[in-house]
């Protein structure tokens, strides 16, 4: 009889896992969508889309300016984010990401490959916006290239 019960349990399978904190789960899904929207707008060089993901604060103006310089300087941008950690607060998120990307000046360019780590600070509950960023950001690659060219010794 015991074997029959075990067989019945195995055939029917385990019950599906229920989400313990559905509100937080939904916020995390919206955060993931916001991060993807930011990445996608940057790759597509979509100024309006990129700007729409930023909170209207002075802290994000420089980030926007750096991204727009990249849009002008590069023909093609590819960028990948990998979330390392998410820290939740009442209406804010801190997201630690590893990123890697390639920036090409024209179609024949082999491109510049870079990678780094950044802390992206997001706010909101239903609409999630980037309010700040710290670390080695992927936005502003044109400025980084100009600074490295200036600091490299002339031969």
| 102-144 tens-digit pLDDT | 999 998 999 999 999 999 999 987 889 999 999 999 999 999 8
pLDDT of residue 153: 62
Greatest alpha-carbon pair distance for the chain in Å reads 85
pLDDT in tens, 65-114: 999 999 999 999 999 999 999 998 888 999 999 999 999 999 899 999 99
Alpha-carbon dihedral angle through residues 57, 61, 64, 66, given to the nearest 10 degrees:
-150
Please give the angle made by the CA atoms of 54, 58 and 62, to the nearest 5 degrees. 75
Please determine, for residue 25, whether its predicted confidence score (pLDDT) is greater than 90: no
Residue 37 in 3-state DSSP?
A: helix
In the predicted model, what is the mean pLDDT of the chain?
Answer: 87
Please determine, for residue 59, whether its predicted confidence score (pLDDT) is greater than 90: no
Higher pLDDT, 29 or 17: 29
pTM of the predicted model as reported, rounded to 2 decimal places = 0.82
Contact 66, 139 (CB under 8 A): yes
Please determine, for residue 151, whether its predicted confidence score (pLDDT) is greater than 70: no
Please give the angle made by the CA atoms of 131, 75 and 38, to the nearest 5 degrees. 20
What is the spatial distance between Cα 1 and Cα 37, in angstroms, rounded to a whole number? 55
Please determine, for residue 6, whether its predicted confidence score (pLDDT) is greater than 90: no
């Amino acid at each position: 009889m015991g074997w029959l019960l075990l067989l019945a349990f195995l055939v029917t399978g385990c019950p599906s896992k229920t989400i313990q904190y559905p509100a937080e789960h939904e916020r995390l899904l919206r955060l993931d969508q916001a991060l993807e929207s930011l990445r996608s707008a940057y790759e597509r060089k979509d100024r309006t889309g990129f700007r729409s993901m930023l909170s209207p604060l002075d802290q994000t103006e420089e980030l926007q300016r750096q991204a727009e310089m990249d849009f002008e300087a590069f023909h093609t941008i590819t960028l990948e984010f990998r979330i390392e950690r998410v820290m939740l607060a009442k209406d804010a998120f801190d997201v630690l990401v590893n990123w890697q990307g390639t920036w090409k000046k024209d179609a024949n360019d082999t491109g510049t490959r870079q990678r780094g780590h950044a802390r992206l600070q997001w706010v909101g509950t239903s609409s999630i916006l980037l309010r700040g960023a710290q670390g080695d950001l992927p936005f502003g690659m044109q400025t980084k290239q100009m600074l490295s060219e200036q600091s490299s010794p002339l031969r």
